[in-house]
Structure 1
Amino acid sequence: MEFPRWALPVAAVLTTSGVFLTACGQEPAGTLNSGAGSRQSPAADPSDDPSDPPPAQPATLEAADVERIGRVVTDKEGRTLYRFDKDTARPPASNCTDQACAEAWPPVMTGQGQIEVKGVDENLVGKVRRPDGAWQVTLGGWPLYRFAQDDGPGDVKGQGKSNAWFAAAPDGKKATAPQQAQPDRNEGGGDRWAGWTVVKVRQDPQLGPIVTDGKGRVMYRFDKDRPKTTTCFGACKKAWPVVTFTNWKKLKVEGVDRDLVDFIERRDDGSCQLTINGWPMYYYAEDEQPGDATGQGAQNVWWVVSPQGKKITTDAGGGYGGGY
């Protein structure tokens, strides 16, 4: 199998395992949806263009802790690396290509050799060909840049610039300050499943079989959403926190058809949200304990979910009807 040049993987394992890179980890080959996958028409062979620039030296990506932000990706000199919201990860593409932008945000370039990584998952690292024929390093599909006004290691002057530039975290997502990080509500009972996305089914005495995470927190779907599309942002998202998707290697499913489980990448913050039968999944912030379903029927648009991903509704008299 020969990969197109625009998405040359770094780890040799990718050439044998049959997977494509996505911003949320790995996607099984042959699948593509609005929330995952990365494909683009192959670029011309750079050897066909005599104006190609001289080969760049192999790049190095390292993970480091930076004050006020936390864990970020740096180059070998310790300079913070950034990602740009106006770029795309699926397919990988840079929208910072004019001279002014590239001078303010120099792209992280590399040659044809393997990109060195320290503390960064090499399976998330790749490269994309820029319009001038040079290769730019990507992480989770996102092209990486330096900020010209950063004076040295540890500087993060580019963080939040134009509300579009953010330091890259080792998982390819935007780096956030430790005090802003949200607790991982998807961890399944105990340390064994820490960091995993866990989908289970529990028998509710009134609602019947409903979907929960590994800690028993009830999941909901929203009538104003559409399959593969979320409409819950801002205040809505605070009241109904999203159920995050980690990656395919850290997914545990019990009682739900695994083929119904997928994810989307949210357009507001780039995070990955679990979907069941196409419907984005949420928690309810006012559910205080595992098993609570106080959000059921809220505003007549929020519903607990059956193992088939269908909503379970309540009738006006308080009885519970089946999903549809």
Structure 2
Amino acid sequence: MHIPRWAIPAAVVAASGMLLTGCGKVPPGQQANVGVGAPQAVPDPARQDPSAAPSQSAAPTVLRVAEAARLGKVVTDAEGRTLYRFDKDTARPPASTCLDSCANTWPPVTAPKGRIQVDGVDRNLIGKTKRPDGLWQVTLGGWPLYRYAEDDGPGDVKGQGVGGSWFAAAPDGKKAGGEQQEQDDGDGNGGGRNRWAGWTVVKVRQHPRLGMIVTDGEGRVMYRFDGDRPRVSNCDGQCAKTWPIVKFTNWKKLKTEGVERSRIGFIERKDGSCQLTINGRPMYYFAGDRRPGDANGQGARNAWWVVSPRGEKITG
């Protein structure tokens, strides 16, 4: 007798070492729960060890402008080391998503007590954002700034284009070298074209009434359902027509901005489709939302709610 994949208990999957194929491989350090929910992240020791956090006392407070080969003007620290920005961060609001081992490779430019000094950089573009590890990180045009550990010294730009997400910072806060930059308005389009077609994009957006809420790359609002359980969807049939699922593509085509990647997961539904989860809660759209930013489904039947960056329901 054929047993559908969604009916296989998670324990059996874990014991057999099976990996989902329809939704992509499970990231290292996580395990798949076929048909019942999202991968569960293995705790990162670096998060639990305060000594693993970058030292704030060693961070520079000076931003200067220098010429880099092939890139033109770039921003550097006081020692002439190139500073970078990360596509998976957000500029509105400023927020860093590079933590733990990432921050070892890309040390954040932090701001100790005292003012930030600038030389050739517009001071109006300079700011600070508080990182999850408690440090204050310098921002340029809203984008958190970093150094690259593989740069050997002043003038090096080895971090340019790493992973398709890291770019030297130009003096205006944009990417140096004329790289096509994704618009910062949250619509997921770069230069008038949908650069993230075929991807699962999870972003945070400011809603005038509800505050910071989760949307996709086009600004479509996501919802969670009180009738679900963690890693289990109870919205099928007519319900799924009114509340279409937010599809999960695969781990290689996942982009997050303002939402911790560790909160993201998926479930494989009975029809074989893969549904995005945040903190284990399945995510949906509302068919009654016509434009990006619409949240007409908020509070429907006192069971459907928009979602905060932490995956919690917003009932306001």
TM range (shorter): 0.3 to 0.5
The normalised TM-score by structure 2 is: 0.44
The normalised TM-score by structure 1 is: 0.43
Tell which has more relative contact order, 1 or 2 (C-alpha 8 A, sep 6+): 2
